[in-house]
Amino acid sequence: MELKTEYEFTLPVGYVDKDGNVHREGVMRLANAKDEIVPLNDLRVQRNRAYLIIVLLSRVIKRVGTISDVNTGVIENLFAADLRYLEEMYNRINEDEATISVTCPSCGHVFEKEFGRLGE
């Protein structure tokens, strides 16, 4: 089985560039540990924790339309609906909740155990 690391998306509204072109199709990659750690040192994130998603998305979105240099300026200028959409997509593809099968040592019953998000 091959690991899927990139996911295509279509923005609900679309990013409008400085020339008025609308970009809706894009690609997001899976986040790695560095993607989630480095933004914590960003002064904008330290001043305003809500800015974290802006920095995170700018690191993992590879392309929006014909724009391949997706930086915080691009993410800041997304419409609110598109930002929410991408945040939900980020959480979905980088889900850190896991469910595993566990066997009770006493009765042998097999059940699913869900582990919560890290840090909770």
pLDDT number for residue 108: 80
Tell me the mean pLDDT in the region 29-39: 96
Output the pLDDT for position 3: 84
Concatenated DSSP letters of 25-82: EEEEEPP-HHHHHGGGG-HHHHH-GGGHHHHHHHHHEEEETTB----HHHHHTS-HHH
Q: pTM for this structure?
A: 0.78
- Can you tell me the mean pLDDT for 64-84? 97
Average pLDDT taken over every residue of the chain: 89
Does residue 27 contact residue 4 with C-beta atoms inside 8 Å? no
